[in-house]
Structure 1
């Protein structure tokens, strides 16, 4: 299927990691220019290079999302290199596993700025241009914890959930201007983050990692962890011309794992 977005420009945050890189490469496969941003500049460059091999224009940025004051300069650099941003993919790193109680205020503040305020601020920076051109896609990657809170991921469950209310409100505000805003959330996708969480759970419970993985896999109806490319394909569809009537939604890519309706 031709998604009708060839020639568009995307900005993919968190593009150096497994899910962000997969989304960037899926967009590049559709002929979309890619600005790959990540706190790890080398990882961002690697993603940009893989996207460039598909014949699209790219740029890479070393970008610490916690630095709110740097947003305007980074976006301006993307605009100078590739043109106005048509497709924004919001993705941030996750906080360490912790209970939700007993976390100090400084920790809440630090992770709020990195995981929530950064997303809102980058989106606000690119929205005026999208609205003026009557076309835009805002895709925000969160976590299955916003639907079914994950034990010992208290900070993530709480902070990412705030983006759900923000996205739904924003979707109604900008829809008449041709901009859609959707959330895509992963179940257990085979990335370094999931490996890290499995290892931490095994350590916490005094069990072999293989047992944790087997237990986790058994909870997924399709019987396996997801491939990052499968996640990237869903995000690319949400950016498509065909998805223009999908707005304010939460799309699960979880193999049927999340138990809620």
Structure 2
């Protein structure tokens, strides 16, 4: 059974999580959110690959965060497990992948999907870069720069020896360009480094059968957190379906090696009412 590891499987889905309830939004309960978006993109990715017969490993900072998603997948007949992993701790990353290899085997697919809303918990008047505490920048580096490098190191040796493997980076529009819809977005520029890493790995590992893709989600993904953002409730058609994104990830994994995509941009359809950006 192919092993699929989803890093950041529960980064935004919790109705009471820090990325769902913050000063720019409103509180939600699970009952307010349909099943197909309740767990955001991480949950959609997990469900899509589980339905393909893969053993899905969900990594999360706290195992309890993933317990409802694991239960839902297992109830539907999927094979999955949750492993604790803290992207800010290199030892935690090593321990997590050692557990994955011991329990399930070497991953065939790695989906890197952690998100952060650095600075979004601050009031708007404090969202200028000059006012950010340095620890917010460290969070951005851990998730968008050091994290993908350290995680890729854990799976690439076995993929190279096997002669196949897929690494899919879930990125956003800030990896391509700066955009000022609001203050507080200057800390997203480390996303450009994730894109650069995907390009470097493509050059180094394509010949070894490893397919690396930078997936740019240019828009707001439907999830409990984004539904809590101002303006989202009035423009539901401007939100991107997480299941549709997950279908694109599965398509990339299935591509024939004779014609690989190395960067894909998924863009929300335009709407007259602007919705705040979200990683």
TM-score range, shorter chain: 0.7 to 0.9
- Asked whether 1:136 is paired with 2:165, we answer yes
**Normalized per residue, which structure has more helix?**
1
Please say if residues 25 and 47 of structure 1, whose CA atoms lie closer than 8 Å, have aligned partners that are also in contact. Answer: no
* Alignment map for 1:223-238 (pairs within 5 Å): 223-238=237-252
Unaligned residue ranges in structure 1 (runs of 5+):
1-6, 199-208
Alpha-carbon distance in structure 2 between the residues aligned to 1:103 and 1:128: 38
Matched, 1:11 2:15: no
Q: Judging changes above 3 Å, is the alpha-carbon distance between structure 1 residues 30 and 146 closer, same or farther for their aligned structure 2 residues? A: same
- 1:216-236 deviation digits (Å, cap 9, x = unpaired): x49xxxx43122111111112
How far apart, in 2, do the equivalents of 1:84 and 1:244 lie? 24
Q: What's the counterpart of residue 191 of structure 1?
A: 223
Paired residues of 2:144 and 2:194 also in contact (CA < 8 A): no
Aligned counterparts of 2:48 and 2:212: Cα–Cα separation in 1: 18
- Deviations along 1:56-102, whole A, 9 cap, x unmatched? 43211122221121111100111111111010011112123333444
Distance 1:246 1:101, change over 3 A: farther
User: Is residue 119–residue 136 contact of structure 2 (8 Å, CA) maintained in 1?
Assistant: no
Counterpart pick for 1:123 among 132, 149, 152: 152
How many angstroms apart in 1 are the aligned matches of 2:258 and 2:221?
Answer: 26
Q: Does 2:177 align with 1:174?
A: no
Determine if contact 1:45/1:61 at 8 Å carries over to the other structure. Answer: no
Partners of 2:50 and 2:204 lie apart in 1 by 29
2:259 is aligned, of 221, 245, 258, to 245
Structure 2: gaps spanning 5 or more residues: 14-39, 121-126, 272-279
* Superposition deviation, residue 131 in structure 1: 0.6
Deviates more, 1:80-89 or 1:102-111: 102-111
Q: Distance in 1 between matches of 2:211 and 2:156?
A: 11
Q: Specify the alignment match of 2:192 in structure 1.
A: 161
Q: CA RMSD in A?
A: 2.5
1:175 to 1:89, Cα distance in 2 relative to 1, 3 A: same
Q: TM-score, normalised to structure 2's length? A: 0.75
Q: Distance in 2 between matches of 1:65 and 1:145?
A: 20
- Aligned to 1:239, the other structure's residue is in SS state helix
